[in-house]
Structure formats: structure tokens, C-alpha cells
Amino acid sequence: MNAYQDLESRFRRRALLGEAMAILHWDYATTMPSGAAEGRAEQLTALTLESQAILTEPDVADLLDNAEASVDGADAWQAANLGRMRRAWQHANAVPPDLVAALTRAGSACEMVWREARQANDFQRLCPHLEKVVALTRESAMARADALDCSPYDALLDQYEPGGSTARIDTLFADLEGFLPGFLEKVLEAQASRPEPVIPDGPFPVDAQRDLGERLMRALGFDFDQGRLDVSHHPFTGGVVDDVRITTRYSEEDFTQSLMGTLHETGHALYEMGLPRDWRYQPVGEAGGMALHESQSLLVEMQVCRGRHFLDYAAPLMREVFGGSGPAWEIDNLARLYAKVARGLIRVDADEVTYPLHVMLRYRLERAILSGDLAVKDLPGAWNDAMEDLVGIRPPDDRDGCMQDIHWMDGAYGYFPTYTLGALAAAQLFAAATAEAPDILPGISRGDFGPLLAWLRANVHGHGRRFDTDALLTEATGKPLDTQAFKAHLQARYFD
Amino acid sequence: MNAYQDLESRFRRRALLGEAMAILHWDYATTMPSGAAEGRAEQLTALTLESQAILTEPDVADLLDNAEASVDGADAWQAANLGRMRRAWQHANAVPPDLVAALTRAGSACEMVWREARQANDFQRLCPHLEKVVALTRESAMARADALDCSPYDALLDQYEPGGSTARIDTLFADLEGFLPGFLEKVLEAQASRPEPVIPDGPFPVDAQRDLGERLMRALGFDFDQGRLDVSHHPFTGGVVDDVRITTRYSEEDFTQSLMGTLHETGHALYEMGLPRDWRYQPVGEAGGMALHESQSLLVEMQVCRGRHFLDYAAPLMREVFGGSGPAWEIDNLARLYAKVARGLIRVDADEVTYPLHVMLRYRLERAILSGDLAVKDLPGAWNDAMEDLVGIRPPDDRDGCMQDIHWMDGAYGYFPTYTLGALAAAQLFAAATAEAPDILPGISRGDFGPLLAWLRANVHGHGRRFDTDALLTEATGKPLDTQAFKAHLQARYFD
């Protein structure tokens, strides 16, 4: 066994621990009884530490050096895999296991307090727990920054967006910040001049909603032999490549939002299901980072399912499943409903025009928190000011203000910008796909998603983590990520 | 950190991996999509190997020696824990990781083939897979036997029944074999002279069955904040101490069998829920082996729930939940139904009189298979002969003959005798409990299981794995395991 093969076998062990963690995470969010939360946190911490220990074995450094000296550069997959191994090794060796464990435990504890503190709109109660998570995250960020030779924030970002940087994000976000507020004004004006969309009248039985969701998932290419649809408080995609588990939540009064949630997660799921199976247990076989992951969910949701072609196909199905008839069920109304724009308080409910503003707010504040420019105790005021500045409304309380998201509670700093990078990438990829494969759009109108899925498999899913976001975009669309396609998409959807 | 503390921290890591495996096993049996079976087997194999690797670190031997030389014998828990550590270390170091992995994979593969081969009644198709599992199990048994200085079969048995031996089992089983066939004849005769019990008329909606099951579980002491009830093909108890997951299966035509299945698993669950939490992550904090585990399920099912006192309480609830009335719902009929005895083909459907005969058959055959006296290809004939000899009927096919159980497919040899040891222990423990705490039986009649649970917590659950079966029985009942209480119980139930 040469050095590279030895590394492969170690990374395989690590990947299998990661798969176990993925199932335990899913179970935590969907199934686990409430009294098991602390025990589960210990299990996940233990698996995290075992996984880290595989990469902190003292001989791994030599193995990497030897493999890098000898690996055949002509095998692009192997070379990319080795690059990913090196990066994973840097991260694993940067942060001492005690700090990893302390951060995992502090995150779990903070999350548990947060659930109740948010309900009670009690930021004071949350504050000391959040301060602890921030302090430990800062420590971890500095350690990673030393190892990766970058800024602490970029070191955190690198966990979610390999190769990403604030420099790159700042440029893209500055462009959007110059465009979106004015565009939002115009959309709201135009929207006011059109008929107000109507939500179809319920109630909509949960069983029927699930049937419709599963039918559309199947049509899009979701394989139920290797996946599931369940219910959780917040929709997410979890599990592993041959066992992809998406969740949604149902409201009997309104099926439209839940359905779009299901379709969003289906986009994530198709990415996971399409990853290169030959590389399943290697770092290069993983998805390409959270920006590309979000590009796949937003491509399905925003580019495809909220658009006219999809509604040509789906609206009759909706009428059939729910026995709907009348103006609320017409394609025009559903299209207006699914493209409704509003200044709102809650990120997860935001439309695609205002969503990036919610992200910019978080990006701005989390950098300030980590650098120490903003104290955790001053977060509520800073949040409300930034919301007023960026989105144009002021939260009446912290529940729907700075306490609305789980990310910071759990120690996920550097994650938020990937949502908007994903939105940009989705638009750019979909524009390239439809230009290159003219059968995609007519296929969507008929419920034939084969041409779309084939393009995504070939240009995104099948690449695994071979490329960083910009490199993949360049391969697939001819240029690195920019804002042009996103702006063109918004223009077309809201004004054409 | 002294040697003992160092060992505790390593065993804690191992226990947490074990907890992760327990949840993954539960998920496999209840939730996982079919296409993920191979991937799941790889995850479980990886966790098994990581867990073994903790105990095969070269310094563990010295740690054990040092801890044994220095641990305070006056702390009985610590001393017992150290003894369990030594035994676990012997097992882990006896079998090379490659063999562990090969056996795990062969077991998973054989189980997958078995599911279809059993359906198709096709032993030929199963045979080569089963031969592979047997060959690897034999190899593993011999390696363990060397390490433990006992026979290969006893070495396998030791995994399920710590300190158990064929010598001990042979004595108990010879006694039962002398008693049961004649007793069975007499019961069948007596039964023929009594009215045939009637199964209440359905259909029984699954939701109502689950509600009744959960109500009785709660009454018995099951804590739904730390546990769940779900559905699987074969009922089992899984999960971990603060997340105990039992399963059942429902038939709309007959609620009575499903309900008793739920109550059986509740007995297992109460044991897990009552284990000493201070020792959660240590070997001494585990349940005391499968015989004691089965004693707890059978105590609840056979000693309590199929008896008169329980039906005094439960029959009115059944009538209430299902709106039942008439002769089928009377306590006399339900008691006869729940104590019905018959020569049957299927172990899991067997009554308490014939069940030990099913176990003896398997005990006899699995020893012959492992010793090489019986070739796997000759199993069907040997099975049918032994069934005729012991139970008095001959299976018409292999589906309901030698292919009915999962154990041998999965490599679980040495497990079967623990079912009958458990039945003996259940009778002996319940006799001691009711003699010592006269409020137990009247409590059961009222649905107050507090006195029973208190006795079990104090005399069984709370001991964890401090004692072997005989030692625990001696502590709790004044003498080691024997057949006397079991025979007295049968006499009382079927003839008094």
C-alpha cells in the first residue's frame, strides 16, 4: 500500500464516521425523544473526535508529503482528492480536540437554551450561552487562520465554502447591494399595480400534500429506494448518498409554501444522489461546498419550480390532488403567488429579491461579532438597525429579530454568505443549461425533467468536490461566479 | 489520570460508539430505505472496527494490569467494572479486525439473501451464504476460545451470557427436557376439556391499538420523554438508555398478539431505562446479558401480563378502547386466550410451554453446526427431525422450518439458549418479588405497577452488569438459577 492508498483507507474510515453522524443528526431533528438531547450531543461529540483523531495521527503529515511527491498529476480526480485531503488535515490539526469538544458541547447547550429563549423572546437568557459559543468559535477561527494562512473569518468560511474568501464575497455583495434596494422598490411598485395573488382555500389534508410532494419529487428524479421524505420543525436535507433524507413541514391551511419547501430540499437531494459513487468515501466525492449545494436547491426552487414552465405542468396536478377549481388555481395566480415579493422579518420566509439582504445583514454582523467590534450583548440593537437599513423594516422583538436563526447558536459562523452565493450560482447555471440544452424548458412544461437532470449530473453533481465554486462555474458556464445571470433572472421574472 | 481512570475514559469512547451503532441498528430495522442496506452495513462495520481498535491499542494490556494491581477492591462497582473491562479486552483482542469485518459483511450479505430465500422457500440459494457465515463464526469462536480458555461454543455464548457455559445450560435443559414433553401432553389434554378461547372480532384500527399500547406502557413505567414506540417487521428493543426504542407490528384483525408483543418489549425497555446512570458509559453499566434481559421481557409478558391480575386491570381498558362487549371480551376468555398452548412451527409465535423446546432444538443444532458434526447443507433434514422429536410436528417446508430465524444468518450463534435461561429467571425473580412485596399483585390488578417496578429497579435493573446471572439470582432470590420456579409457575397457570 503506497502513501496515497494508505490515505484513502484512512479517509474512508473518516467518511464512514461522517455518514453515521449524518444519520444521527437526521434522527435528532426528526425522531429522537426530547429527553435524549444531551446523550445525543455526547454521541456526536465522540464521533467528531474519533473522526478528527484519524487525521491527527502523527504519521499523516508524512503520508501527505509522500503522496504529494508521487501522485500522478495526470489523474485529475486523484490529484483533486489529495488536495482535499491536505485541506481536511489542516483543519483537523489546527484545532485541539478539547476545543472541538468544548465548542460542540457549548453549541448543543446554547441551541437547547435558544429554543426556549426564542419562544419567550428572552435575549438576556440566551446571551451568556451565545457569548460562550462566540468566544470558542473565535478561538477556533484563530487557530484555523494560523494553519491556513488567512483571516479568521475566511478560515471559518473555508469549512463551508472551500477556497472562498471575504474579498470575493465583498465584491459580489457590493454589486448586489448597489442593485437590490432599487430593484426591490420597482418590483413592489409593479406588484402593486397587478392583481393581488390569492392563496387557494384549504384545508389541505397532510396525506394529500405528502402524496403531491412525493409525486413531484419522483418526477424530478428523487429515488425513494435511496431516500425518504419526513417532517421536521425546519426543512433540511440530511442522510448520506444512498439514503438521502429530506424533510418538510405541513400547514393544512396553505399547501403552497410547504410544497415549495419540499421542492427546495429535493434540489439538495438530487445533488447528493448524483455525487460520483466511485468516490463515495473520499473527500473529492463530497458535494462541492454549501454555495454549490444551495445552488442546486435554489435552481430547483427559484429557477425551475417558481417559474411558468413548471407551473404549466404542476398546476393541473395540484387541482387534481386537492380537487381545486376557480381563479386561485389558475396558472397566472399561482405564478404571482410564487413570485410575491415583500419586505419581511424572517429570512427563511423571504422571497428571492429580499433574501440576499437578509444574508448581507448576517454577514456584516457575524464578522463584527467575531472581530470583537460588536459585543454579543449589543446584538439586538445592531440587528434591528441593520434590518432597517437593508430590508427597510424594524423587528418588533428579538424572537423575529436576532434570535430567529439556529446557525449562530450552533457555532456555524461563515455559513450565511453561501446562501446568496448559491442564489447567484443557481441563476448562472440554469442560464447556461437552458442555453446549451434547448429541450430543458419544454421538458419542464411536460413534467419531463430528464434533460435538466442530465445536464446537472454532467456539469455539477458528477463532479463531486473536484472543483471550487468558481472553477466549477467556469467549467459549466464559461466564467466564474458573478451577479449578471441573477440580475437577468430577476429582471425576467418580475418584469417580462 | 491513573490507569483505571484512563481505562474509564477509553471505555467511555467505546460506549459512545456503541450508542451510535444502536441508533443506526434501530434505523436500519424501522426507517432506512431498502437501497441503503449495503452502505449501512459498511457504516456499522466501520464503527465496530473503531470500537475494537480502542481496545487493541497496545498499551491497554498494561493499563489493565496496573489497574488490577491498584484498584480498591472495597469499591465493588469499580472492581466489577474492571472485571468487565478485562473480559471485553479479551474478546476484542482475540479476533483480528479483518475477521470481524469479514464476519460482519458476510452476516449482512447472508441476511439480505435470506429475506428473499425465505420468502421463496429456497434453502439452496441461502446455503452458500450461510456456509460462509458459519465458517467465519467458527474461526472467530476458536480464536475467542483460545483467549478465554474455554470451548468455542462457550466463547460465543460468553458474548451474550457473560460467564455462561454449556455445562450449566445442559443441566438446566436436561431437567426441562425431562419435564416439558409430559407436561405439554397434560396441558393439551386439560385445554381440550375447557371452552376454546375466542379471539375478539375486529377490525381494530392501528391508531387505537397504538393508543392502548402506549397507555399500558406508560402505566408500566415507560417514559416517553426517553423512548419511543414504532413499527418493524419483527418487534425488538433498541436505542440507548435515555432513548429506548421498542417496536411492534399491528394486525387489524387481532390486537391481542400485537399488544402482548408491545408489553414484552416494554419489559426489555424498563430494564434499559432502569440501568445505573452513573455508570452509563462503562461496561458495568450495561444490562447483565441476554438471559437477564429476556428475564425482564418475559417477567412482564409471561409472569405479569398474561396473568389474571393484569387482565383484571387491562380487560376493561381493552373493552373501552375498542368498544368491545360480549363473551370474547370477558376476563375468563382473555385469560384462556393468553394462555393457549399449541404445538407450532414458529418459535416467535410459541407459547411459554413449547418455547423452550424450540430453543433446545436450536441449541442442539447450532452446536452440531459449529463443531462440524452437522453440515449446513444437511440442516433442513436435521431441523425437521429435531422438530418432530422435540415439539412433535414436522415442518412442511424450510420457510417455516430452518429458515425462520434471523440469528444464524447474522452470525449470532450462542444466543438462543438465553431465551430459555431468561424464562427460568423471570419465574424465579417474580416468585421472589411477590413473596417479598405482597403489594405487587394487588397493585397489578389496579394498574399500579409501582411496587413491581421498585422491586425490579432495586434487585435487577439498578445492578447493571455488576453480577452474572447466577450471582444476581442469588442476591435477588437466595439461590442460583434453577427450573423450580418456572415449573411451579407453569403448574399454577395451567392447572390451578
* H or E, element range at A453: helix A450-459
Tell whether omega for the bond before A395 is within 30 degrees of 0, i.e. cis.
no
Strand partners, B240: B243
Per CB-CB distance under 8 Å, the chain B contacts of A38 are 242
Q: Are residues A285 and A261 in the same domain?
A: yes
Tell whether omega for the bond before B417 is within 30 degrees of 0, i.e. cis.
no
A101 touches chain B (CB under 8 A): no
Q: What are phi and psi of A163, to 5 degrees?
A: 80, 0
B38 touches chain A (CB under 8 A): yes
d(CA A288, CA A84): 11
Three-class SS state of A73: coil
- Enter the C-alpha cell of residue B38: 449495503
pLDDT at res. B399? 97
Print the domain residue range for B220: 151-496
Say which of B8, B265, B272, B294 is annotated catalytic: B265
* H or E, element range at A400: none
Q: Helices B331-338 and B308-322 meet at what angle, rounded to 10?
A: 110
Say which of A131, A177, A253, A265 is annotated catalytic: A265
Q: Which of residues 48-67 of A touch B (CB under 8 A)?
A: 49-50
Chain centroid offset of residue A28 CA? 19
Cβ A28 vs Cβ A41: under 8 Å: no
Per CB-CB distance under 8 Å, the chain B contacts of A227 are 33
Q: Are residues B123 and B157 in the same domain?
A: no
Contact assignment for A226 to B23 by CB distance below 8 Å: no
B13 touches chain A (CB under 8 A): yes
Per CB-CB distance under 8 Å, the chain B contacts of A24 are 20, 23-24
Q: What are phi and psi of B69, to 5 degrees?
A: -75, -25
A142 touches chain B (CB under 8 A): no
Name every residue whose Cβ is closer than 8 Å to that of residue B398 and which is 6 or more positions away in sequence.
B121, B123, B380, B383
A218 touches chain B (CB under 8 A): no
* H or E, element range at A252: none
Query: Is the per-residue pLDDT at B74 higher than 90?
Result: no
Contact assignment for B39 to A19 by CB distance below 8 Å: yes
Q: Are residues A103 and A198 in the same domain?
A: no
Q: What is the CB neighbour count within 10 angstroms for residue A346?
A: 12
- How close B104 comes to chain A (CA, Å)? 15
* pLDDT tens column, B356-366: 999 999 999 99
Q: Are residues A235 and A379 in the same domain?
A: yes
Cβ B413 vs Cβ B457: under 8 Å: no
Q: Are residues A399 and A440 in the same domain?
A: yes
Contact assignment for A36 to B228 by CB distance below 8 Å: no
Per CB-CB distance under 8 Å, the chain A contacts of B33 are 224-228, 243
Domain boundary among A155, A170, A185: A155
Model pTM? Answer: 0.96
Cβ A414 vs Cβ A160: under 8 Å: yes
B47 touches chain A (CB under 8 A): yes
Q: Are residues A388 and A437 in the same domain?
A: yes
Strand partners, A229: A246
Query: Is the per-residue pLDDT at B153 higher than 90?
Result: yes
Based on DSSP, count helices (H) and strands (E) in chain A, helices before strands.
20, 3
A412 touches chain B (CB under 8 A): no
Contact assignment for B226 to A47 by CB distance below 8 Å: no
Facing A20 at nearest CB: one of B20, B34, B225? B20
Q: Which of B50, B228, B272 to mutate to test the interface with A (most CBs of A within 10 A)?
A: B50
- How close B44 comes to chain A (CA, Å)? 8
Contact assignment for B27 to A32 by CB distance below 8 Å: no
d(CA A219, CA A450): 9
Q: What is the mean pLDDT of chain B?
A: 97
Burial class (CB in 10 A: 0-12, 13-18, 19+), B212: buried
CATH number for the domain spanning A332: value is 1.10.1370.30
Facing B23 at nearest CB: one of A19, A27, A42? A27
Facing B35 at nearest CB: one of A16, A31, A225? A225
Q: Are residues A289 and A141 in the same domain?
A: no
Contact assignment for A228 to B33 by CB distance below 8 Å: yes
- How close B264 comes to chain A (CA, Å)? 21
Facing A224 at nearest CB: one of B33, B40, B49? B33
The number of distinct structural domains making up chain B is 2
d(CA B36, CA B127): 24
Q: What are phi and psi of A190, to 5 degrees?
A: -60, -40
Domain boundary among A155, A180, A195: A155
- Radius of gyration in angstroms for the set of CA atoms belonging to chain A, rounded to a whole number: 23
Q: Are residues A235 and A139 in the same domain?
A: no
Q: Are residues A162 and A123 in the same domain?
A: no
Q: Is A265 a catalytic residue?
A: yes
- How close B225 comes to chain A (CA, Å)? 5
* pLDDT tens column, B404-435: 999 999 999 999 999 999 999 999 999 999 99
Q: Comparing C-alpha atoms, which of A43, A106, A165 is closest to residue A417? A: A165
Three-class SS state of A344: coil
The torsion angle over the Cα atoms of residues B449, B454, B460 and B464, rounded to 10 degrees, is 110
Residue B280's pLDDT band, with cuts at 50, 70 and 90, is very high
Q: Comparing C-alpha atoms, which of B461, B135, B68 is closest to residue B285? A: B461
Q: Are residues B122 and B184 in the same domain?
A: no
pLDDT at res. B221? 98
Residue B496's pLDDT band, with cuts at 50, 70 and 90, is confident
A241 touches chain B (CB under 8 A): yes
A36 touches chain B (CB under 8 A): yes
Mean pLDDT in residue range B126-143: 98
Q: Which of A10, A11, A21, A23 to mutate to test the interface with B (most CBs of B within 10 A)?
A: A23
A223 touches chain B (CB under 8 A): yes
d(CA B296, CA B284): 18
Residue type, B29: A
* pLDDT tens column, B391-405: 999 999 999 999 999
Work out whether strand A237-240 and strand B243-248 pair parallel, antiparallel, or are unpaired.
Answer: unpaired
Q: Name the residue with cell 433540511.
A: A236
B146 touches chain A (CB under 8 A): no
A478 touches chain B (CB under 8 A): no
The DSSP secondary-structure symbol of A201 reads P
Work out whether strand A243-248 and strand A227-231 pair parallel, antiparallel, or are unpaired.
Answer: parallel
Residue type, B80: A
pLDDT at res. A71? 80
Q: Are residues A258 and A362 in the same domain?
A: yes
- How close B56 comes to chain A (CA, Å)? 15
- How close A398 comes to chain B (CA, Å)? 29
Sheet holding B237-240, edge to edge: B227-231, B243-248, B237-240
Cβ B110 vs Cβ B129: under 8 Å: yes
B224 touches chain A (CB under 8 A): yes
Domain boundary among A155, A190, A217: A155
Residue B71's pLDDT band, with cuts at 50, 70 and 90, is confident
pLDDT at res. A27? 98
Q: Are residues A177 and A323 in the same domain?
A: yes
A33-70 residues labelled b (16+ CB within 10 A) or e (exposed): beebbebbbbbbbbbbbbbbebbeeeebeebbeebeee
3-state SS, chain B, equals: CCHHHHHHHHHHHHHHHHHHHHHHHHHHHHCCCHHHHHHHHHHHHHHHHHHHHHHHCCCHHHHHHHHHHHCCCCCHHHHHHHHHHHHHHHHHHHCCHHHHHHHHHHHHHHHHHHHHHHHCCCHHHHHHHHHHHHHHHHHHHHHHHHHHCCCHHHHHHHHHCCCCCHHHHHHHHHHHHHHHHHHHHHHHHHHHCCCCCCCCCCCCCHHHHHHHHHHHHHHHCCCHHHEEEEECCCCCEEEECCEEEEEECCCCCCHHHHHHHHHHHHHHHHHHHCCCHHHCCCHHHCCCCHHHHHHHHHHHHHHHHCCHHHHHHHHHHHHHHHCCCCHHHCHHHHHHHHCCCCCCCCHHHCCCCCHHHHHHHHHHHHHHHHHCCCCHHHHHHHHHHHHHHHCCCCCCCCCCCCCCCCCCCCCCCCCCHHHHHHHHHHHHHHHHHHHHCCCHHHHHHHCCCHHHHHHHHHHCHHHCCCCCHHHHHHHHHCCCCCCHHHHHHHHHHHHC
Facing A47 at nearest CB: one of B20, B39, B223? B20
pLDDT at res. A1? 87
A98 touches chain B (CB under 8 A): no
- How close A57 comes to chain B (CA, Å)? 13
Quickly list H helices, A277-378. Answer: 290-298, 308-322, 331-338, 355-371
Contact assignment for A33 to B226 by CB distance below 8 Å: yes
Q: Comparing C-alpha atoms, which of B366, B339, B370, B345 is closest to residue B489? A: B339
Per CB-CB distance under 8 Å, the chain B contacts of A243 are 32-33, 35-36, 39-40
Residue B73's pLDDT band, with cuts at 50, 70 and 90, is confident
ipTM over 0.85: yes
Full pLDDT tens readout for chain A, 496 residues: 899 999 999 999 999 999 999 999 999 999 999 999 999 999 999 999 999 999 999 999 999 999 999 987 779 999 999 999 999 999 999 999 999 999 999 999 999 999 999 999 999 999 999 999 999 999 999 999 999 999 999 999 999 999 999 999 999 999 999 999 999 999 999 999 999 999 999 999 999 999 999 999 999 999 999 999 999 989 999 999 999 999 999 999 999 999 999 999 999 999 999 999 999 999 999 999 999 999 999 999 999 999 999 999 999 999 999 999 999 999 999 999 999 999 999 999 999 999 999 999 999 999 999 999 999 999 999 999 999 999 999 999 999 999 999 999 999 999 999 999 999 999 999 999 999 999 999 999 999 999 999 999 999 999 999 999 999 999 999 999 999 999 999 999 999 8
